[in-house]
Amino acid sequence: MRPSKNLARTMAFTLGLTLLAGCQSQPTALVATVAPQGNALQQKTTEWRVASVGNRTQYLVEFTGDSIPKDFKKALAQVGGTLADSYEGVGLATVLSSHPDFEENAARIAGVESIVADRVVNWFSADSVQAMPVNGSDDSQVGSSDLTFSPMQWGLKAIHAPEAWTAGATGKGVTVAVLDSGIDYTNPEFAGRIHWASRSFIQNDGPNADNNDVLDLRGHGSHVAGIIAAAADGTGVTGVAPHARLMALKVNNYKGESNFDQVIKGIVYASSAGADVINMSFGARFAQGDAAGESLNRKMQKAVRFAFRRGAVVVSSVGNERTNYDNNTDIRIPAMLEHNIGVSATGPATGTDYDSFANFYSNSGKRIVDLAAPGGGVIITPTGISPAGFIYSTWSNHAVRQTVEGMPFQPAPYFMMAGTSMAAPHVAGVAALVISKRGHFRAQPKKVVATLFESADDLGAAGFDAQFGEGRVNAFAAVSATKPHPGRGWQNSVRFW
């Protein structure tokens, strides 16, 4: 077991700036964190502790098939275990035991493929960066007194979202599940579009929290949700798919922590409750040779494969450690999972080039990256870092005040950030646009993915490459694609992802 005392000190993104409520155009806090130079981040794996309930250890069981063997509960009791949850059709179960030989004995139960102790991780910890206060914000660029930040939303322009809206694709009728820290549903940006099946899988989240509440006590989930579907109402920000419905599934607490079971529950629940798209802007990294880490990866893979079979398009961020995963054999979850679109980040290095690879922080590697999307860039000016490179979105008015890597977190309706956490929801939003425009693509993730891949704008090295994958997602081209690839058809035109 590894120490957990540092789990809460890390963060999900590389840069941030708060726009406080009621402060009009004057941001009262401008704090950015910048990745250290060199390779300091590259050896970092995610800290963890074994998941437990009271004095019982929590285990994840994988079955040889997708169903639960009929006598499993009884066999479990015989070796000192209790069934906590089972996922029929997925082939997974969560069990508890305090018996010292439980893992060994349970592995011998008929139908059990493998069993592993669950881990609590901080899903944002691999993104840990060094904090640095930055002065010299250009207030004239930070929106106007009516809190309209649309001129700052370069990401929407970069992916040609406005042209997609004009073409009639707005995400209407599509549900996007946001697996994250919850959503601040009190923000008018989400009014009337939070799915009734939204649900929390986190207990005791922060001070005074209602256990069943999906209210976002961190802000990260609300930022992701706003990128996907903030209202096109003339104020604040606009999402990529402003008419999409959001299923808020809280699987990370306000510190960013949870166990694998909670994330698996979120994936299985989302796909069972009818989510068309699932966004996961978080991740964990385990070293090659970490057999339990590899086993947890396989459990998560079963859940993602189930989501695929149920018709959901699964999207995740590839992480902010500035690491090329083609140069290592580490386990990156969920980015490396099959049937999951791994998204790297682009960001402006100057005022107008929106398509630079975000080499300040974005991971790369053909085995994790499928597509690239705006995540935010670092524009260095004589007076500091310009806010023009960030991604603007909603935050949470209920965020718990905490200091993460020297950066103060506080309640706010809007926030600007950078990271692959911001890139993935741009792709999730475009997937929602494609599904809304082409109703017959609903529940056919392969066709949606083929469309996203084939319509992406190729960047960097010609064709599929380690930084941009198939290229930077293009919303207008994606919703305009009307035919399968000539001679190949939808089913064969997509690279296995």
Binding mask of the shown chain, residues 398 to 437, with x at each position contacting Ca ion by CB under 5 A? ----------------------------------------
The two tokens of residue 291 are: 């057999």
Q: Which is nearer to Ca ion, 115 or 318 (CB)?
A: 318
Q: Which is nearer to Ca ion, 342 or 375 (CB)?
A: 342
Residue count, binding to Ca ion (CB under 5 A): 11
**How many whole angstroms separate alpha carbon 362 and alpha carbon 400?**
27
334 counts as binding Ca ion under rule CB under 5 A: no
Q: Which is nearer to Ca ion, 357 or 497 (CB)?
A: 497
**How many whole angstroms separate alpha carbon 277 and alpha carbon 228?**
11
Q: Which is nearer to Ca ion, 61 or 230 (CB)?
A: 230
The CB-of-111 to Ca ion minimum distance in angstroms stands at 29
The CB-of-300 to Ca ion minimum distance in angstroms stands at 13
Q: Which is nearer to Ca ion, 109 or 448 (CB)?
A: 448
Stretch that binds Ca ion, among 156-164, 179-187, 357-365, 463-471 (CB under 5 A): 463-471
Q: Which is nearer to Ca ion, 142 or 407 (CB)?
A: 142
- Asked if 60 and 261 count as a contact pair (C-beta separation under 8 A), the reply is yes
Give the E-state strand segments of 194-271 in sequence order. Answer: 199-200, 245-250, 257-259
Q: Which is nearer to Ca ion, 81 or 374 (CB)?
A: 374
Within 10 A of 480 (CB to CB), how many other CB atoms are there?
16
Of residues 360-379, those binding Ca ion (CB under 5 A):
370
Stretch that binds Ca ion, among 15-23, 95-103, 178-186, 338-346 (CB under 5 A): 338-346
Q: Which is nearer to Ca ion, 72 or 414 (CB)?
A: 414
Please give the backbone phi and psi of residue 202, each rounded to the nearest 5 degrees, phi first: -110, 135
Per-residue DSSP letter, 368? T
497 counts as binding Ca ion under rule CB under 5 A: yes
- Binding Ca ion by CB under 5 A: which of 262, 277, 465, 466? 465
**How many whole angstroms separate alpha carbon 340 and alpha carbon 316?**
7
231 counts as binding Ca ion under rule CB under 5 A: yes
The CB-of-400 to Ca ion minimum distance in angstroms stands at 24
395 counts as binding Ca ion under rule CB under 5 A: no
Burial track 144-159 (b if 16+ CB lie within 10 A, e otherwise): eeebbbeebbbbbebb
Q: Which amino acid is at 10?
A: T
Helix (H) or strand (E) holding 331: strand 331-333
Quickly tell me which residue has 């930040």 as its tokens: 149
**How many whole angstroms separate alpha carbon 339 and alpha carbon 304?**
7
Contacting residues for 78 by C-beta, under 8 A, at least 6 apart: none
Relative to beta strand 277-280, strand 313-317 is parallel
Q: Which is nearer to Ca ion, 32 or 161 (CB)?
A: 161
The CB-of-368 to Ca ion minimum distance in angstroms stands at 7
**How many whole angstroms separate alpha carbon 413 and alpha carbon 422?**
17
460 counts as binding Ca ion under rule CB under 5 A: yes
**How many whole angstroms separate alpha carbon 494 and alpha carbon 57?**
42
**How many whole angstroms separate alpha carbon 354 and alpha carbon 312?**
29
- Binding Ca ion by CB under 5 A: which of 29, 162, 458, 480? 458
Stretch that binds Ca ion, among 44-52, 54-62, 259-267, 455-463 (CB under 5 A): 455-463
Per-residue DSSP letter, 343? E
Which residues lie near Ca ion (CB under 5 A)?
A: 230-231, 233, 236, 340, 342, 370, 458, 460, 465, 497
